Amino acid sequence: MAILITGGAGYIGSHTCVELIQAGYDIIIVDNLSNSNRESVKRIELISGKKILFYQINLLHQTDIEIVFLENRIEAVIHFAGVKAVGNSVKEPLQYYQNNVTGTIILCEVMKKFNVNKMVFSSSATVYGIPEFLPIRENCKTNPTNPYGRTKLMIEEMLRDLYISNNEWSITILRYFNPIGAHKSGRIGEDANGIPNNLMPFITKVAAGKLQTLQIYGDCYPTIDGTGVRDYIHVVDLAKGHLKALEKTLSTSSVETYNIGTGEGNSVFELITAFESATGVRIPYKITNPRPGDIAISYADPSKAKQELGWQAEMGIEEMCEDAWRWQSNNPDGYLSNAAELISGK
C-alpha cells in the first residue's frame, strides 16, 4: 500500500517525502509542476536511494487522478497541492478557489470512489487572520483576511463535513506557521520562482548577491523592535510533523486540527541577526512601508500536537538559517542550477 503525496515536488512536500521514505513508507507523487520542478523528485530519489513513482497531473483533471488510483493501491493521501501566495490570491481569487477548493473536492470524490478515506491536509496559520489571542491555540477564532486563507479554511470546513457524513473518514489538518530552512544535504529546498514573496528566501537571495537589499516591511508594529514577529519552523521539523500526523490518521477515524509551529516568535531583525551569526554573511536592508494585509505578531501554542501526536519542533532559528544558506549556496538558481546536467540527462 502506498501513500499518495499531492504537491510532493514542492518545498514542504519534497521534505515530507524524504521523511516518509526514510520511515519505510512507499510513496507516489502527483504534482502539476506549476510551482515546483521535476528536478526535486530526482533529488528526493538521490537522498533516499529509492525510485519514486511520479505523475505530472493537475488535480482538476479527474480522469488523470482516477488513473493513479486504478494503477496503485493507495492507503492514504497527504494533500499539499495548491497555490499559496497571499498577495497573488488577492489579485487572482478565482484561480485560488479553483485550484485549492475545486481541486480538493475532485481529489476527495476520487478517494471516495476508490474507498480511500484517510487524509493529512496542509492548512495554514493564515486561517487565524489577526489572532484573537497569543500564543495561538487551535480553538482561536478563525478569520482569514485574504482569499488564500479563505480557501484553506473552506477546505477545512469541507473536510469536517465529509467526516460528519461518514465517520469512516480519518482526517488530520495541520496549520503551518512559517516554514523555513532546508534538508541538511543541501539538495532540496525552497525554490521560489522569480522574486520571492517570503522573508527567508529574500534574505538568502540578498546574501547570495542575487538581490541588492532586503526591504523590511515596516518597523512600527507593537513588537519587541517594531518589525513583524512570526513562528519560524524548520521545514524538516514540519515534515516530521506529517509523519506523526500520518501515523495517527492511519490508526483512527476522526477529524482533528493541529498547529504546527515552534511556539517561539522571532522578529524580522531577530531573523536577520540569526542569519548573519549563523552564516557570517551580512544582510543590507532598508525599512519600507508595511505590506498591506500583514499582521504584527503570530506564533503558535503547539501543545496539542505534542500531547496528541507526540511531535514537537527540535531545531532552532540559527540551524534554520544555516540550512537555508547551504541550500542557496549549493543551488544558486534553485533546481535550475544544474541545467547543464538536466539537458545532458545525467
Active-site positions? 148
- Cα–Cα distances in angstroms (integers) from residue 68 to residues 61, 74, 159, 213, in the given order: 12, 9, 22, 45
Residues 84-123 close enough to bind ligand WQD by CB under 6 A: 84, 86
Question: Considering the rule CB under 6 A, would residue 242 count as an interface residue with ligand WQD?
Answer: no
How far is Cα 271 from Cα 339, in angstroms, rounded to an integer?
31
Which residue is closest to ligand WQD by CB? Answer: 228
- Give the count of beta carbons closer than 10 Å to the beta carbon of residue 248: 18
Residue with cell 461518514: 166
CB-wise, 24 or 222, nearer to ligand WQD? 222
In the numeric block, which cell numbers belong to residue 144? 482569514
Taking contact as CB under 6 A, which single stretch among the options 47-55, 136-144, 214-222, 302-310 is the one that binds ligand WQD? 214-222
How far is Cα 220 from Cα 228, in angstroms, rounded to an integer?
9
Q: What is the smallest separation between the CB atom of 342 and ligand WQD, expressed in angstroms?
A: 28
Among 215, 253, 273, 338, binds ligand WQD (CB under 6 A): 215
Question: Considering the rule CB under 6 A, would residue 16 count as an interface residue with ligand WQD?
Answer: no
| Contact code string over 170-189 relative to ligand WQD, x by CB under 6 A | ------x-x-----------
How far is Cα 148 from Cα 223, in angstroms, rounded to an integer?
25
Question: Considering the rule CB under 6 A, would residue 48 count as an interface residue with ligand WQD?
Answer: no
CA angle at 196 for the pair 8 and 102, rounded to the nearest 5°: 45
Q: DSSP assignment, residue 187?
A: S
- The number of residues that bind ligand WQD (CB under 6 A) is 18
Structural contact between residues 122 and 176, judged by C-beta atoms closer than 8 angstroms: yes
Question: Considering the rule CB under 6 A, would residue 268 count as an interface residue with ligand WQD?
Answer: yes
Burial of 186 (0-12, 13-18, 19+ CB in 10 A): middle
Q: Which residues pair with 326 in a beta bridge?
A: none
CB-wise, 188 or 296, nearer to ligand WQD? 296
- Give the count of beta carbons closer than 10 Å to the beta carbon of residue 13: 25
Among 129, 228, 263, 302, binds ligand WQD (CB under 6 A): 228
Residues 278-317 close enough to bind ligand WQD by CB under 6 A: 291, 294
Among 47, 59, 216, 278, binds ligand WQD (CB under 6 A): 216
Q: What is the smallest separation between the CB atom of 245 and ligand WQD, expressed in angstroms?
A: 16
Burial of 250-261, coded b for 16+ CB within 10 Å and e otherwise, reads: beeeebbbbbbb
Residues 186-205 close enough to bind ligand WQD by CB under 6 A: 197-199, 202
Taking contact as CB under 6 A, which single stretch among the options 91-99, 183-191, 209-217, 337-345 is the one that binds ligand WQD? 209-217
Binding site for ligand WQD (CB under 6 A): 84, 86, 124, 126, 176, 178, 197-199, 202, 215-217, 228, 230, 268, 291, 294
